[in-house]
Structure 1
Amino acid sequence: MPTVEVSDLKDGDFLLDVREDDEWQAGHAAGALHIPLSEFVARYGELTEVAPQDGRVHVICRSGGRSAQVTMYLAQQGVDAVNVDGGMQVWAAAGRPVVDGKGEPGHVL
């Protein structure tokens, strides 16, 4: 499973958040694309419309389990995808910004 550490992510890296709506609304990385795991296959086209054609998709969830499933699926589709190790829990613990659904400071559920 290709993985990347939160500390290795740079500003501008494409981030796909696959957590559910309540988790997203409570707190997420600003600029991330949100497609919940429960809707991912049906909404896959949304990702292909906005993902960088020659770049990597960094997949994140709360701790890394759901994002690992999506990372494997994307790799099977030929997408350069990596799982963000530790997910949003590590993201927040590392002091990375977390915003809620209104763009205000948020928290990770």
Structure 2
Amino acid sequence: MKTAHDLVAEAKSCTQEIALKDAEQAIRQADVLIDVREADEFAAGHLAGAVLIPRGLLEFKLSAMPALASRDIQVVLYCKTSGRAALAAQTMQAMGYLNVQSIAGGFDAWMAEGKPVVKPEQPSFD
């Protein structure tokens, strides 16, 4: 029986993972940057310009969003540490997307390098 780790390793072997040092350039060249984490993770901080599409909803959201219908758009994905992003990249490839990359190390690696993060300000009810 395969474990989650096995599935992630398999996904990483057949998808393109970009090194953190190349991530900013890849994001600039991408048509869309997708955060596949959950809504609470996104709300706590995310990469500027990222669109939230949780991995569990990915196939449904991609099918329902006309802006993401073209299979030749440039896509960069990320999650917390890169596992969910690799699985999402594999899914997108199975759906026919041709140019999908994920960020090695994910959001945690991005933060560890001190790269900029958007942290929405929460309203104060004082």
Q: TM-score, normalised by structure 1?
A: 0.80
Aligned residue for 1:40, secondary structure, equals: helix
Provide closer, same or farther for how the CA distance between residues 54 and 37 of structure 1 changes in structure 2, counting only shifts above 3 A: closer
Number of paired residues? 103
Question: Identity percentage over the alignment?
Answer: 31
- Alpha carbons of structure 1 residues 51 and 24: separation in structure 2 relative to 1, 3 Å: farther
Report the secondary structure of 2:60's partner residue: coil
Task: Please give the root-mean-square deviation of Cα atoms over the aligned residues, in Å.
Answer: 2.3
Task: Specify the structure having the higher radius of gyration (Cα).
Answer: 2
CA distance in 2, matches of 1:48, 1:72: 21
Q: Cα distance 1:48–1:89, how it changes in 2: closer, same or farther (>3 A)? A: farther
Partner in structure 2 of residue 6 of structure 1: 20
Per-residue CA distance 1:43-69 (angstroms, 9 max, x = gap): 113555158865421110000111111
Instruction: Please say if 1:31 is aligned against 2:49.
Output: yes
SS class of match (1:43): helix
* 1:73 maps to 2:62: no
Conservation of the 8 A alpha-carbon contact between 2:37 and 2:55:
yes
Name stretches of at least 5 consecutive residues in structure 2 with no aligned partner. 1-14
* Ranges in structure 1 where 5+ consecutive residues have no aligned partner: 104-109
Distance of aligned partners of 1:56 and 1:70 in 2 relative to their CA distance in 1, 3 Å threshold:
same
**Which amino acid in 1 is paired with 2:89?**
T
Q: Please name the residue that 1:82 is paired with.
A: 101
Please name the residue that 2:118 is paired with: 99
TM-score (norm. length: structure 2): 0.70
Q: Following superposition, which runs of at least 4 residues in structure 1 exceed 6 angstroms of deviation?
A: none
Q: 1:73 to 1:64 in 2, by over 3 A?
A: same
Q: Using CA pairs below 8 Å that are at least 6 residues apart, which structure has the higher relative contact order?
A: 1
